[in-house]
């Protein structure tokens, strides 16, 4: 079935450094790729997304890249801050024949002050 693999499972960086989280998906019909941030004890919240007709999208310190041929997409956070510490989930969705979003297992990001 459909699968989204996410790496690494844990990432620790120094404040001010960059963080990169990578995901691979299996369903070639996927055409929408959101990223969610979940702080401890809270609900996941959408932070950025990208559609299959775009290769890169940026929003201030965060950016997402997509390689449809390789079925890879990545989240890049620059100039990390302690408040970026959270669990980040990638996901892939196809909107043909159903609306199922498949999530990766998550990356716990620690930003050390």
Partner 1 sequence: NAGVTQTPKFQVLKTGQSMTLQCAQDMNHNSMYWYRQDPGMGLRLIYYSASEGTTDKGEVPNGYNVSRLNKREFSLRLESAAPSQTSVYFCASSVEGNYGYTFGSGTRLTVV
Residue with smaller CB distance to partner 1, 80 or 89: 89
- Selected from 11, 20, 101, 110, the binder of partner 1 by CB under 8 A is 101
Decide whether 6 or 74 has the Cβ nearer to partner 1: 6
Least Å distance between CB 104 and partner 1?
6
Interactions with partner 1, residue window 17-76 (CB under 8 A): 32, 34, 36, 42-46, 49
CA gap 67, 64 in Å, rounded:
10
CB of 91 to partner 1, least distance (A): 8
């Amino acid at each position: 079935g459909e699968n989204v693999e996410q790496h690494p499972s844990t990432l620790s960086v120094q404040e001010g450094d960059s963080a990169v989280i990578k995901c691979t998906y299996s369903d070639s019909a996927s055409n929408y790729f959101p990223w969610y941030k979940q702080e401890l004890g809270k609900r996941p919240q959408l932070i950025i997304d990208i559609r299959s007709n775009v290769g890169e999208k940026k929003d201030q310190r965060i950016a997402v890249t997509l390689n449809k041929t390789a079925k890879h997409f990545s989240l890049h956070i620059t100039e990390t801050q302690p408040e970026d510490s959270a669990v980040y989930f990638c996901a892939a969705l196809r909107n043909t024949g159903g609306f199922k979003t498949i999530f990766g297992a998550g990356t716990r990001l620690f930003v050390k002050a």
